[in-house]
A = this chain, B = another copy of it.
């Protein structure tokens, strides 16, 4: 593993298909995507390479956090999602300095046992320094808390509605 990467890996007791749906449907992403008491109040998903991934988070007082559009790079149904904060829709690179650092996120979902999943989330940075800054900002705790919220959401929520790629 590169020291420019940060990785969260865990076996969880829900299926890759439901995790994929929760990762790719705005109405099923917003409830868990941000560590409480922060919340996600807006989400745009155009689930294809070059398509937009946007989330707007707010602090406990409802103040919007800085947000820029990301861009999907790879989408393999129920198995893999790759997107980057370094580019917006249509692969347009973001101007340098428009975020404290850029990273590419790779989410791998592998079937594990009966209905479980090996969940691997990797954050790919430009430099070791950026990875360290991301870790000091709370990557491990934050992404771990978010995975707890994701698993709890998937276990407790019927997700039988039609998948939608539009803003919910």
Interface residues of A (CB under 8 A from B): 4, 49-50, 73-74, 82, 84-87, 90-97, 102-104, 106, 124-127, 130
Contacts and interface: CB of A to CB of B under 8 A. Distances in A.
Contact of A86 (B93, B97, B106, B130): B93
A90 B50 contact: no
Contact of A103 (B74, B82, B93, B127): B93
Contact of A104 (B82, B85, B87, B106): B87
A167 to B, nearest CB: 22
Nearest to A86: B93
Contacts of A49: 49, 73-74
Q: Which of A4, A87, A106 has the most B CB atoms < 10 Å from its CB?
A: A87
A62 to B, nearest CB: 31
A68 B25 CA distance: 36
A92 B50 contact: no
29 contacts: A4-B92, A49-B49, A50-B73, A50-B74, A50-B82, A73-B73, A73-B91, A82-B91, A84-B87, A84-B91, A86-B87, A87-B87, A90-B104, A91-B106, A91-B124, A92-B104, A92-B124, A92-B125, A92-B126, A93-B102, A93-B126, A94-B126, A95-B126, A95-B127, A95-B130, A96-B96, A96-B97, A96-B102, A96-B126
